[in-house]
Structure 1
Amino acid sequence: MSFTYKTSVVAVVAALAVTACSFGPSGEPPAMPSPEHYGAQPQLSKTVAAGGIAQSFDVGATGVTQWWRLYRSPALNALVDEGLRNSPTLAATQRTLAAAQEELRAQVGASTLPSIDGAVQVERARSPVVPGLGPEQVQYNFFAGQLLAHYTFDLFGQTRYMNSASAARVNVQAFELEASRRALAANIVASAINVAALDRQIALTERLVAVSIDAANEDQQRYALGSVSRAQALASKQDAAAIAATLPALRQQRALAIHTLAVLMGRTPDNAPDVPALDSLSLPEHVPVAVPSDLLRSRPDIQAADAAVKAAAADVGAATAQLFPSLSLTGSMGRGGFSWPAVLSGAGGLWAIGAGLSQPIFHGGALFAQRRASIDAYAAAVLHYKSTVLSAFQDVANSLAALDNDAQASASTEVAADAARAAFDDTASRHRMGSLPLAATHASESRYLNAQIGAVRAAGQRMSNTAALFQAMGELPASQQTAASTQ
């Protein structure tokens, strides 16, 4: 009967060990919808033509690794390369990841392999004795050297779950590093485009200010001659001052943008880099639009959320496994004695071996509370994953809509700028023939300069939103790109 009881206990323990893999959720991310198109409206195949380019949306294409090179600007490539190489923020994230990887190696080694330590003890001691029954004191030496071993069996998978959770959290940091790298590149490109667009706007505004001042001076002279009213002269002066007031704001925007770019690249603001001219940047003609299933694998923020789900699932398993027994083995061997000859003799041998089995019985409800907390944390991680995916879909939808609208706005501003240029040329020609006054030329040139400023803003916005779409697409790993291309 005793043998039957022991056999039953062993069978139960073995069954529990086999089912330890079911102590926690699988860690697979929840199924997400796969929309036919990202935005509220069906996806267009291409935008309207603006600047001679109608951008094509390549549906099903994967993200581009170094997408900023599609702007075909060696100067822009140099800015991004320097930023990725010298950014202290990115370097700090890399070091943090390296530290987490080493901590994981330490945890796995300490928890899955036996620990063996060496110990040497040399002691001189004095022990009192009872008066009248012997010497008043006993002094002796003691020498010992031992090897100590300890190992805890992972009967119910607690160690495995804990290591899996730590490994998943290291993966979270790895994906966050990749997200930081891509975000840094996107921010450098956006900042450079912004600076380039502001440089062009400032140059055009400076000319606009000069023209408006000339017009105000001319009206002042005409007022002195009595050919225009005082109200018109004052209005011209007011317009010139109002236009001049826009210059400091543009220069301030430019200063903020170039300082931001310098810091992104790991430089001090006083050592800001030279930025390529806006006209030297080529707008990418083809932009990828990954299908939703590929987007889930290509965006590092989604991959980080996926890894967080796996870590939370492993935490549930670990919290469940700690409710079950734990078995440990300890052993030691060495030599010891009260003198060196005794240590080296046959009588100096020391050894010990033992086993310990512990079972939680009462912890004030702490273990069950920890398990419930891990289950809630897992549910939160799943919801965070869903939120991250929806936000990613929103990013893509917003970027696609922005590019479509940017192209239309850019096309309209180009038409306006071309018409204003033609009108200005015609007005200037008629002025040279004496059929129109100089004031008409100033007014026509002002309209042309304003139209050019609008066209520059639209072109810069289109380039920036193109970078945002490349960023939103993420990047499939090389192995997955190969698999996707063969499907």
Structure 2
Amino acid sequence: MKLVRSFLFKQLARIVVTSASTLLSACMVGPDYERPAAPQSQHYDAQAEHQLVETGRPVGAQHIDLGKKVDGDWWSAFGSAKLDQVMRKAIDGNLDLQAADATIARANEAVAAAGGGLLPQVDLGVQGGRQRTGSGARLSTSNFYAAGPQVSFHFDLFGGTKRLVEERTALADLQRHRFDAAYLTVTGDVASQAFLLASARAQIDAVQDLLADDRKNLELVRAAHAYGSATQIDVALAATQLAQDETLLPPLAQQRDTARHALSVLAGKGPADWVAPDFDLSDFALPANLPVSLPSEAARNRPDILEAEARLHAASAAIAVATADLYPHLQLSASLDQIGPGIGTLWSVAGALTGPIFHGGALKANRRASIDSYKASLAGYQQTVIAALGQVADVLQAINHDTEEFAAQERALNAAEVSLRLNRAGYRAGEIDVLQVLDAERTYQRALIGKIRAKTARYLDTAQLSVALGGNSSGAFERRLASRNEQ
């Protein structure tokens, strides 16, 4: 009996599978997704690019290599082992990246779940109970049971299920690109906060030096007042200058502490649990040559653009899913039950064809809505590309102007330093009053802080250029996965 049941079940399964393979080659409704063309432009900002590639630029000015891609870890161009150490800690511990990692796993499971609809479904049905049979005086009560496998298969005649798998796959790709975007954001933020921390420390050191000079000035003025060569007003002015310069320290200390706390958070730690190392501007080397990929390449490397493209792909597949709902659905099912006690084996094979006739316009409305969603996704993709090109153009101009500003700040600092030295000498010789010295000190202080900020801007904008170009972040999730598997 077992051999008979096994034979029958195999025959039923063979019928289902054979029918499935026969009809799987049926037509699949469209549209078929076509990847948008890359931007045709060869430039971001022709004027900025021309200035950044021309010869005869000032000493220390940066140049761009147009058409060259960012290679490897983009932050390695700054030559800081300390930055690389903090960057690795942030990449490994950042909680946003961990959340994105789990979201990708969930999206992959959604693809697997959708793909299961392309295969036969096998279940086991078991039921039991008590029944009364017969009539009149020949009534009898007995137990009964039925147990056996059930096989069903939904023929994807018009490719609706395949398109659903395609849609889910595109959404999984979207999540991977979203991880890459988060990776790019985290690495960009780590570099920026490291530069801001170093800048704050440099400005604090400059203000401390300024305060030391203010205190010396105050002592000189007080001594002069004691000998009758300075007035009480001169003393008050020197004391006021010291007090005013002391107000510069708290905001800079706050900037330093905020940057340090931000680095802890980026590394997935509380500020009390892990403290970032103290960065100095001398820890970084400003890259002289900057790789700048062409717009067509940037569109294939920036994760936000790839994310928008994956969303567009999913919207295209959704149109086909909605279109397939307008056509008939065919399902084949088979079962093999052992009925007992003592009744025998019951098998069945059935096919069901259903087709939409009237749904109040819902199915066509769903298809129109999916088309509108595709149009919105296409516009969103195009806007993302245009915004990306604009961002790169802005940063190129910023780098160009940073060079000009840094050179101007350096000239201003040199001039202010000479002026301060001459004014102090003149004051000691009794040739000028204290007001001129204080004014020279204020000018020098502004120039010194200005130079530090201009130098910081060069680092920040250089990092921002790598981020705007995609920072070689495309495929960051795959690299993370490969590294994890190697461990």
TM-score bucket (shorter structure): 0.7 to 0.9
Is the 2:48–2:396 Cα contact (8 Å) retained in structure 1? no
Aligned twin of 1:381: 377
The equivalent position to 2:391 in structure 1, one of 376, 387, 395, is 395
Is the 1:153–1:326 Cα contact (8 Å) retained in structure 2? yes
Aligned twin of 1:470: 466
2:301 is the counterpart of 1:295: no
Aligned twin of 1:114: 120
1: distance between equivalents of 2:57 and 2:182?
33
1:139 CA drift (Å) = 2.5
Aligned twin of 2:97: 90
Gaps of 5+ in 2: 1-22, 476-487
1:28 CA drift (Å) = 2.7
Distance 1:284 1:264, change over 3 A: same
The equivalent position to 1:320 in structure 2, one of 310, 319, 323, is 323
Q: Give the residue type in structure 1 aligned to 2:335.
A: S
Is the 1:63–1:298 Cα contact (8 Å) retained in structure 2? no
Is the 2:48–2:400 Cα contact (8 Å) retained in structure 1? no
Aligned twin of 1:27: 33
Is the 1:172–1:304 Cα contact (8 Å) retained in structure 2? yes
1:322 CA drift (Å) = 0.3
Distance 1:336 1:128, change over 3 A: closer
- 1:38 match: secondary structure: coil
- 2:150 match: secondary structure: strand
Alignment deviations for residues 416-445 of structure 1 (CA, whole Å, 9 cap, x no partner): 22334455566677889x687895777656
Is the 1:320–1:371 Cα contact (8 Å) retained in structure 2? yes
Distance 1:273 1:163, change over 3 A: same
1:128 CA drift (Å) = 8.3
Aligned twin of 1:329: 332
Aligned twin of 1:166: 168
Distance 1:240 1:430, change over 3 A: closer
Alignment deviations for residues 49-83 of structure 1 (CA, whole Å, 9 cap, x no partner): 66x52211110011233011111111110010110
What percentage of residue pairs aligned between the two structures are identical? 31
Is the 1:176–1:301 Cα contact (8 Å) retained in structure 2? yes
2: distance between equivalents of 1:49 and 1:438?
42
Higher mean C-alpha displacement, 416-425 vs 278-287: 416-425
2: distance between equivalents of 1:33 and 1:72?
33
- 2:451 match: secondary structure: helix
- 2:358 match: secondary structure: coil
1:1-400 to 2 correspondence within 5 Å?
A: 17-18=26-27, 20-22=28-30, 24=31, 26-31=32-37, 33-39=39-45, 41-44=47-50, 45-46=52-53, 52-108=59-115, 110-121=116-127, 123-127=128-132, 133-134=136-137, 138-216=140-218, 218-219=220-221, 222=224, 227-270=229-272, 271-337=274-340, 339=341, 342=342, 348-400=344-396
Is the 2:108–2:172 Cα contact (8 Å) retained in structure 1? yes
1:103 CA drift (Å) = 2.2
2: distance between equivalents of 1:450 and 1:62?
39
Distance 1:91 1:476, change over 3 A: closer
Is the 1:29–1:382 Cα contact (8 Å) retained in structure 2? no
Distance 1:477 1:33, change over 3 A: closer
TM-score (norm 2): 0.84
Higher mean C-alpha displacement, 351-360 vs 236-245: 236-245
Alignment deviations for residues 244-302 of structure 1 (CA, whole Å, 9 cap, x no partner): 11211111122211111110011211232113311121011111111111111011111
Gaps of 5+ in 1: 1-13, 479-487
Is the 1:420–1:448 Cα contact (8 Å) retained in structure 2? yes
Alignment deviations for residues 360-398 of structure 1 (CA, whole Å, 9 cap, x no partner): 111122111111111111010000001100110011001
Aligned twin of 1:406: 402
Is the 2:413–2:444 Cα contact (8 Å) retained in structure 1? yes
Is the 2:193–2:260 Cα contact (8 Å) retained in structure 1? yes
- 1:43 match: secondary structure: helix
Is the 2:131–2:142 Cα contact (8 Å) retained in structure 1? yes
Aligned length: 447
CA RMSD of aligned residues (A): 2.8
1: distance between equivalents of 2:424 and 2:241?
21
The equivalent position to 2:455 in structure 1, one of 446, 454, 459, is 459
Q: Give the residue type in structure 2 aligned to 1:320.
A: T
Is the 2:107–2:172 Cα contact (8 Å) retained in structure 1? yes
Aligned twin of 1:417: 413
1: distance between equivalents of 2:232 and 2:365?
83
2: distance between equivalents of 1:477 and 1:33?
18
2: distance between equivalents of 1:163 and 1:246?
60
Distance 1:207 1:436, change over 3 A: farther
Is the 1:179–1:300 Cα contact (8 Å) retained in structure 2? yes
2: distance between equivalents of 1:49 and 1:276?
29
Aligned twin of 2:484: none
Q: Give the residue type in structure 1 aligned to 2:34.
A: E
